[in-house]
Amino acid sequence: MTITELNRKQTAYKNKLKKIEQFVNAFQAVDGTKDYIELTSKLNSINDILKELDNLQNKYFALPDKIELNNSLDILSDIEEDAEKFKVSILVFLSKYEEQKTENAKLTPKSHIKLPDLPLPTFSGKFQEFENFKTQFMSVIGNNDSLYESQKLMYLKSALKNEATLIQSDQDNFDSLLKALENRYENKRALVDIHIAGILSINKLHSENSTQIKSLIDTVRNHMRFLKNLKLESNSLSDAIILHVLNNKIDKKSQRLFQLSLTTTQVPSLQDFLSFLEVRCIQLESVIKSDFAEKSIPIKNKSSSGVINSRWKSFLTKDKNKTSTAVESISNQGQKACVICNQLKKHSVYNCEMFLNHSPLERYELCKKHNICTNCLNFHPSKSCTSKSRCQICSSFHNAKLHRDKTHVSIPSTAEGFIDTAHKVNSEQCFALRPTDKKNSKPMKYLMITAVAYVNGMPVRIILDSASEINFISSDCAISLGLKRNRIHSSVSGINGLAQDIKYETNAIISNKDNSFKKSLKFMVVPKIPSVTPSCNLDISKLSLPKHIKLADSSFHKPAKISMLFGAQVFFKIIKADQIKINDSITLQNSVFNYIVT
């Protein structure tokens, strides 16, 4: 730029300052908020001008040496002085507003709430507890400038318990004692050993127990958090090793379901495994509602005086040549022996450790041997059972402790060709998935888990079945959705080992209504899924369903045709953590399709 152009810019900045000068000279406080905004705006303008003046000065200096600059630089200096003067004036005005705001804040009444006194943290000498103790103690006592060093020392000594009280310091002051504690307990190597050992020493779970699974999850996350705080970051290798260790710690059923939930050959992450266990806990808690309390049967006998006495015998069985007789040995003190383990302990079959250590098939044989009901595990014939409880895994007419996994691909009871045989076969010999009340010859009422999914933008009513190893779709549904069917030659087995040939399979992308969940699944095509669920209209007028929630199937209480069945492959990816308990029988479980009724 030429000196003429630079001088013109200089004049423009001078004119801007004249307008600001007029504003400052004429300023009078009228409207506090408006005045404050105007002053702030003018202050920003002055700051911008000062920056531009610096740039302008640099451009003057960049001109050739032969050009005379003295006059231009003098004018530029005067403009800068005026700008600084106006800036000070505006800052004075603004300071008055700030003072006024401070005074107003002091006059504003504040409510004072008396909070309970917080107890001081204590330390008992465990390595893994020291870091938390130190952080809490320093925030409350150590960094409190209002306390003398002698007071801090007294507080620290009073916070030490057990082994920690034995530690000695070089000097009798706060800093020396704290340093001695740090030297003793800030042992990274020892801490790492403790937390790794904590993960490896987790007890193995032998049964499906949501409380034990929760404890496992919390233990792992606690140790992993401490290791991360020690600057030991996890990676894919460490995740794979820990996942392998933990997978061997959980029960066999959960191990199998976790493998079924994996849809690729990629190594799952540790977080994927823990998320699966969270869902597993929710599932177990939501389905195990029945109280398997021991039912006692009063047996009356006569004493030597002829007076009838009542005693309670709970474990009864049928002998081939006798009527129902007690199989418990009852001593003079009233001790009872369990029919399974013969130990003098009062416990039900459901809680018998020896019974639980057997496989589901062996448990079933024990029930048959001792005339134990295969549905409620009490001592009466299965066909006479009046309990409304069903298997929490597959909803069949047997106890969850007797649920058996098929050794090959299983098909649910709803697929064509697998007819309910409850009316043909004794319920003690067959686990029928659709039991019949023999007294009234009417189907018993229970809810299957239904939802409405979307395929190609079309709504489809589905059943969620975690016990099915594969997914199914009716032939009519596949055709109406325009899905391409691929010819295959396969066979699947269902209840009682009945087999059915499958001639077609298809692939479909399923989603929820807002497309926030999408997944490509493979389906076996069956001629139809004839089950209508529920079997009759259910009266839900007395159910207090929350109005703010959306149901996955708003017509869950009305009989309707099922077009698809989702198995274990996708079941655990659909279920979410939230659940709402309506009553002892009904729970709303959140899912990607909104809340399902279980």
The string of pLDDT tens digits covering residues 259-314 is 888 888 888 888 888 888 888 888 887 766 444 434 444 444 444 444 444 443 33
Q: At what angle do helices 70-107 and 32-61 cross, to 10 degrees?
A: 150
Q: In whole angstroms, what is the distance from residue 455 CA to residue 512 CA?
A: 9
**Strands 458-464 and 564-566, bridge-based pairing:** parallel
User: Is the pLDDT at 470 greater than 90, yes or no?
Assistant: no
Helices 188-200, 127-137: axis angle to 10 degrees equals 120
* pTM over the 0.85 mark: no
Q: CB neighbours (10 Å) of residue 496?
A: 13
Which residue's structure tokens are 């039912």? 295
Per DSSP, the three-state class of 568 is helix
CB 274 within 8 A of CB 217: yes
Contacts of 336 (CB under 8 A, 6+ apart): 313, 314, 315, 328, 329, 330, 344, 345, 346
Residue 482's pLDDT is 84
pLDDT the model gives residue 325: 36
Q: How confident is the model at residue 451 (pLDDT cuts 50, 70, 90)?
A: very high
pLDDT for 426: 33
Q: What is the per-residue pLDDT for 23?
A: 83
- Which pLDDT score, from 0 to 100, does residue 523 have? 92
Q: How far apart are CA 60 and CA 7, in angstroms?
A: 9
DSSP three-state, residue 597? strand
Q: Residue 443's pLDDT is what?
A: 42
Distance CA 245, CA 207 (A): 17
Give the pLDDT band of residue 99 (cuts 50, 70, 90): confident
Query: In 3D, which of 307, 296, 250 has the Cα closest to residue 274?
Result: 250
Three-state DSSP string of 126-173: CHHHHHHHHHHHHHHHHCCCCCCHHHHHHHHHHHECHHHHHCCCCCCC
Checking phi first, is residue 371 left (phi over 0); if not, alpha (psi -120 to 50) or beta? left
Task: Tell which residue, 157, 151, 148, has the closest CA to residue 177.
Answer: 157
Contacts of 66 (CB under 8 A, 6+ apart): none
Q: What is the mean pLDDT of the chain?
A: 76
Nearest CA among 30, 427, 70 for reference residue 39? 30
pLDDT for 60: 81
Residue 116 pLDDT greater than 60, yes or no: yes
pLDDT digits 0-9 by tens, 26-44: 877 666 677 778 888 888 8
Q: 522: helix, coil or strand? A: strand
In angstroms, the CA 156 to CA 134 distance is 10
Q: Over the stretch 353-386, which tens digit does the pLDDT of each residue have?
A: 888 878 788 888 889 888 899 888 888 888 888 8
Q: Are 433 and 403 within 8 A, CB to CB?
A: no
Which pLDDT value is given to residue 307?
A: 44
Quote the pLDDT of residue 429: 30
Between the ranges 149-153, 292-296, 516-520, where is the mean pLDDT highest?
A: 516-520
**Spatial separation of the C-alpha atoms in residues 75 and 77, rounded to whole Å:** 5
Between 104 and 195, whose confidence is greater? 195
For residues 474 and 508, the answer to whether their CB atoms sit within 8 Å is no
Q: CB 202: neighbour CB atoms within 10 A?
A: 17
The two beta strands, 564-566 and 471-474, are antiparallel
- Which of 349, 353, 352 is CA-nearest to residue 367? 349
396 CB contacts (<8 Å, ≥6 apart)?
A: 390, 403, 413, 431, 432, 433, 435
Using one digit for the tens of pLDDT, what is the confidence trace for 546-559? 888 889 898 888 88
**What is the SS3 assignment for 408?**
coil
Q: Who's near 372: CB < 8 A, 6+ residues apart?
A: 317, 339, 349, 366, 378, 379
- pLDDT category at 329 given cuts 50, 70, 90 is very low
Return all residues near 9 (Cβ < 8 A) that are at least 6 apart.
52, 56
When mean pLDDT is compared over 145-149, 264-268, 394-398, the highest value belongs to 264-268
For residue 500, pLDDT beyond 70: yes
Beta strand 518-526 with 471-474 is parallel
The residue that leads in pLDDT, 438 or 424, is 438
- Give the rounded percent of residues in the chain with a pLDDT score beyond 70: 79
Q: What does the pLDDT read at residue 405? A: 58
Q: Is the pLDDT of residue 427 over 60?
A: no
Helix, strand counts (H, E) of the chain = 15, 18
Nearest C-alpha neighbor of 508 from the set 473, 465, 476: 473
Q: Which range, of 9-23, 340-354, 361-375, 489-503, averages the lowest pLDDT?
A: 489-503
Which residues face 436 on adjacent strands? 443
Answer yes or no: are the C-beta atoms of 219 and 198 closer than 8 Å: yes
Q: Which of 235-244, 280-289, 403-412, 575-584 has the lowest mean pLDDT?
A: 403-412
d(CA 402, CA 430): 12
Task: Taking residues 453-464, report their average pLDDT.
Answer: 89
More confident residue, 32 or 596: 596
What pLDDT score was predicted for residue 530? 58
pLDDT for residue 112: 59
Sign of the torsion formed by the C-alpha atoms of 121, 123, 124 and 127: positive
Give the per-residue pLDDT at 412.
Answer: 41
| Res 495 pLDDT > 90 | no
Q: And the tokens for 67? A: 């050009």
State the SS3 of 424-465: CCCCCCCCCCCCEECCCCEECCCCCCEEEEEECCEEEEEEEC
- Phi, psi of 157, deg, nearest 5: -65, -40
**Residue range 225-240: mean pLDDT, rounded:** 83
